[in-house]
Amino acid sequence: MNRTVNVVVVGATGAVGQEMLRVLDERAFPVGALRAVASARSAGGVVRFAGREVTLEAPSPEVFEGSQLALFSAGASVSREWAPVAAAKGCLVVDNSSAWRMDDGVPLVVPEVNPHRIANPPKGIIANPNCSTIQMLVALKPLHDAAGLEHIVVSTYQAISGKGARAVDEFDQQTRALHEGTEPIASVLPGVLAGNLLSDWKHDASGYSEEELKMIEESRKILELPTLHVSPTCVRVPVRNAHSESVWARFSRPITRDEALSILRKAEGVVLDDAVGPAKHPQPRTVSGADPVHVGRVRQDPGDPRALSLWVVGDNLRKGAALNAVQVAERAFGVAR
């Protein structure tokens, strides 16, 4: 592809928006004109892209005129209001919020999993899945293609950066308070996370959190398996960046560990860490900043020849958000990688 693409990044000052700008630059996406959108109170400030300053603008119909791509990461309410406006102005919208994920007219896409859904989205909008769903399905899709998924049991160990920069700052303050012997304060987080674990999402009457329900509904939609059994438990852990997941998956036929390792070694977007032993597994501190999803500790269930256990780690700001969105755009605009 030789032509350039004019791009609007909505939510350009947030953690994911900043990562989107970095990923566009690092991957040499053919950006022509770039417009950066943030809240009205941030308008007039600047962000940096490709070594230059870009002035921030408030949302308006005019900011989307003349652009072909709009990357959104400014929250569901902003996306519900402005994504249709951007699409009507001729932009392909790739939205990182939860606003459009379960809309029947909006594809929910992980490029390594369901790239066929990228072309010609009915509403001009493509949704990014939840970060935890993305990395889990990148690991499981090649195994599903080989053996047919029937049931997933997943426990997540989700990093603080997934809640945003204010949560990271509060975690740092809590950590200092514990070291100083004072009482930690929780206002952004629902409780003390320093030295602790939290269920950090709204719950419904069933006892499931909204994060857990997202993993169920999104997995079914992306894999086009409406009756897939998904049993999630989501937990926030005192790790700054990169989510980890313990995944147990049952398939429609027996699958050995050796077969699974062979499949994962060749899987798109996966790095297999197949060494065995203490600390010889994917870890958030080493995976943070990396693009692929790292898979390790692949084990066959000792009582079920159709089931495997895996340990899956991915950078939630990159593959779990910004990178996935840019990869969707690359495929949509025929950008060679």
Catalytic (active-site) positions: 131, 243
**Which amino acid appears at position 129 of this protein?**
P
DSSP readout, 244-271? EEEEEEEESS---HHHHHHHHHT-TTEE
> Quick one: CA torsion of 323, 227, 208, 311, rounded to 10 degrees?
-50
* CA neighbours closer than 13 Å in the CB half-sphere of residue 268: 10
Query: What does each C-alpha distance from 219 to 25, 100, 171, 254 come to in angstroms?
Result: 30, 15, 30, 22
Question: Encoding tokens for residue 247?
Answer: 């995944």
Contact call for residues 4 and 31 (beta carbons, < 8 A) = yes
Cα 139 to Cα 311: distance, rounded to the nearest angstrom? 10
CA distance 17 to 229: 33
CB count within 10 Å of CB 268 equals 13
CB of 284 closer than 8 Å to CB of 159:
yes
